[in-house]
Amino acid sequence: MKASATIHNHFDIAKIDDRLYSAFIEHMGRAIYGGIYEPSHPKANKDGFRTDVLELVRALKIPLIRYPGGNFVSAYKWEDGIGPKDKRPTRLDLAWRSKETNQVGINEFASWSEQAGIEMMLAVNLGTRGIEEARNFVEYCNHPKGSYWSDLRRKHGAELPYNVNMWCLGNEMDGPWQIGHMEAKEYGRLADETSKAIKAFSKNIETVVCGSSNDQMKTYPEWERVVLEECYENVEYISLHKYFGNSSHDSLNYFSKIDETGRYIQTVAGIIDFVKAKKRAKNEVFICFDEWNVWYHNREQDHQNIQTWDWPEAPALLEEDYNLEDALFVGGLLNEFIRRSDRVKIACIAQLVNVISPIRTINGGPAWAATIYYPYQFASLYGRGTALNVAQSGPTYDTEIAHDVNYLDIAAVVSSDKSELTIFAINRCLDQEMDINLSLLGFENVKLIEHKIIGGNSNDARKFNTCDNPHHVIPRDGKGLGVEAGSIGGKLLPFSYNLIRLSI
Ligand code: AHR
């Protein structure tokens, strides 16, 4: 199989927003308790945070983290999580039918984020609550001092405000499963008014309005149009969510869901343009893809457990064992975000620890990186700068949901200082090597810095990392790529993810 592509140094798609490599963490399962926070763990620091998890998180260089939910936020009282820990109430979380002890609240999470080197993006509850609680929450977090909520924060030990600039206006409000689910128009109105109120605190605040929970929702894409018509001028982003799976064990069909996601982005971008034109608006609205990941391995079982269990505290939930195939998928989806970085400015892998996550832990035991950790890490470390157009030609295939799907999934990024070109390339073919020839135009002194590969054999598609063997699927050095004047060529192994870093 042969594929070729041309990459030109000056044919830009867009400057990539670093926040394309953000993450999401929710109060559910063992994400917070037993994930980032476990005071009794031998590796916990004085704040009760697991340092082994912190190390794995820091190595991802995540710019922004969305918190505290998710479905959880739609019935959450943020005030339950502040003040002396022994006075905090235990509540029943209706979204995941679990007990929430509130031992971690906004102040603990702010401290964890700071230790992890990540900025916070907070979600307000627009399910059971509204403008009043949202403005109080923003005042508690952001106002310096001299008001009821800001002085309460200071009394709770946080002298300086957190200056959180990114606020999500609820979560998945289109979903009938959401507590406080709404019709598009009523949600759009509430989002508009809430956004106006919380922006009164600072001109730096930016808000994210809920788009569809996925592109299979009956209300999609009308939801986006109606919601944006209510609030376009008062928001900066519209959120999209999508989770993926391969229950039919058909890898090529699975990978084509990335093309389907491209259409989802394209459609919402079109609606943004339509509403902007209709309103004669001057502001831009971008896409914040603030929940995405693979989620299917235990989905049915988890769903049944939630229905039948007796309100457990921090139960194992949505703990997916990601395999090699999922790593290739995640690498491909990140490529799609790079290719659409003109419209997608923020994207959050959902979630970060234990719950559908690249990082896993055992209570009292080790933490390890799942297979999907590595493509996410490579994109975050080397996918910053400017996305370049890649004009490719090569073999394609058809599936039920997409036609002319490329066997070669490729994205290219030139670093901000123009010293490096990084190519992320996936050979989706299960059983054939791919001969690639990439013409590099407008670059000088091209030299290979490194070639890393994940996978390379579709017989390993279902291999995953475990606590006992965390190294089943990890990156290794690739070989066989040659750089000549103006081009790079060689073979990509079947079913492989490739990071190709070049100095220029
Ligand atoms: O990430 C798990 C759940 O998926 C989130 O709580 C919700 O927003 C989405 O449906």
76, 125, 172, best to mutate for ligand 1 pocket (most atoms within 8 Å of CB): 172
Structure tokens belonging to residue 439? 């013409």
Q: Taking the model in full, what pTM does it have? A: 0.97
Tell me the per-residue pLDDT of 360-404, one tens digit each, with 9 for 90 and over. Answer: 999 999 999 999 999 999 999 999 999 999 999 999 999 999 999
Question: What is the Å distance from ligand 1's center to 72 Cα?
Answer: 8
Determine the distance separating the centroid of ligand 1 and the alpha carbon of 18, expressed in angstroms. 23
Percent pLDDT > 70 in the chain is 100
Taking the centre of ligand 1 as the mean of its atom positions, its distance from the CA of residue 504, in whole angstroms, is 41
Ligand 1 neighbour 71 (Cβ under 6 A): yes
For residue 160, CA distances in Å to 143, 145, 151 come to 9, 8, 10
29 lines ligand 1 (CB under 6 A): no
Atom 9 of ligand 1, nearest CA residue: 70
- As a whole number of angstroms, the distance between CA 443 and CA 111 comes to 44
Structure tokens that stand for 246 in this block: 């391969």
Helix (H) / strand (E) element for 299: namely helix 299-308
Whether residue 48 has its Cβ less than 6 Å from ligand 1: no
Give the C-alpha distances (Å, rounded to integers) separating 344 from 21, 199, 226, 340: 11, 22, 20, 6
Considering the chain, what is the average pLDDT of its residues? 97
DSSP 90-127: PEEETTTTEEE--SS-HHHHHHHHHHHT-EEEEEE--S
pLDDT at 81 over 90: yes
3-state secondary structure of 155: helix
C-beta 70 within 6 A of ligand 1:
yes
Binding site membership of 172 for ligand 1 (Cβ less than 6 Å):
yes
Could you tell me if the CB of 291 is within 6 A of ligand 1? yes
Cα 46 to ligand 1 centre (Å): 31
Q: Which mutation among 171, 216, 351 tests ligand 1's pocket best, with the greatest number of atoms within 8 A of CB?
A: 171
Identify the pLDDT of residue 485. Answer: 82
Does ligand 1 lie within 6 Å of residue 320's CB atom?
A: no
Whether 79 lines ligand 1, by a CB cut-off of 6 Å, is: no
The residue whose CB lies within 8 Å of the most ligand 1 atoms, and thus the one to mutate among 25, 26, 296, is 26
Nearest CA residue ID for atom 2, ligand 1: 70
Other Cβ atoms within 10 Å of 296 Cβ, number? 15
Atom of ligand 1 nearest to the CA of 350: 1
Tens of pLDDT, residue by residue over 191-221, are 999 999 999 999 999 999 999 999 999 999 9
For ligand 1, say whether the CB of 351 is within 6 Å of any of its atoms: yes
The pLDDT > 90 percentage for the chain reads: 99
Write the DSSP string, 181-199.
---HHHHHHHHHHHHHHHH
**Looking at 272-419, which runs of residues are DSSP E strands?**
286-294, 344-350, 359-361, 367-369, 386-393, 396-397, 405-406, 408-414
Spacing, Cα 286 to ligand 1 middle (Å): 21
pLDDT of 315 reads 98
92, pLDDT greater than 90: yes
pLDDT of residue 36: 98
Region 106-111: mean pLDDT is 98
Atom of ligand 1 nearest to the CA of 26: 6
Which residues in 202-343 belong to E strands, given as ranges?
Answer: 206-210, 237-244, 286-294
- Annotated catalytic sites, by residue? 172, 291
156 neighbors 96 (Cβ within 8 angstroms): no
Ligand 1 neighbour 358 (Cβ under 6 A): no
Average pLDDT over residues 294-308: 95
CA of 28 to the centre of ligand 1 (A): 10
> How sure is the predictor about 293, in pLDDT bands with cuts at 50, 70 and 90?
very high
- Structure confidence at residue 418 as a pLDDT band (50, 70, 90): very high
End-to-end alpha carbon distance in the chain: 28
Ligand 1: residue of 289, 291, 357 to mutate (most ligand atoms within 8 A of CB) is 291
> For ligand 1, what atom is nearest to the CA of residue 351?
1
Band of pLDDT at residue 464, cut at 50, 70 and 90 = very high
* The predicted structure's pLDDT at residue 365: 98
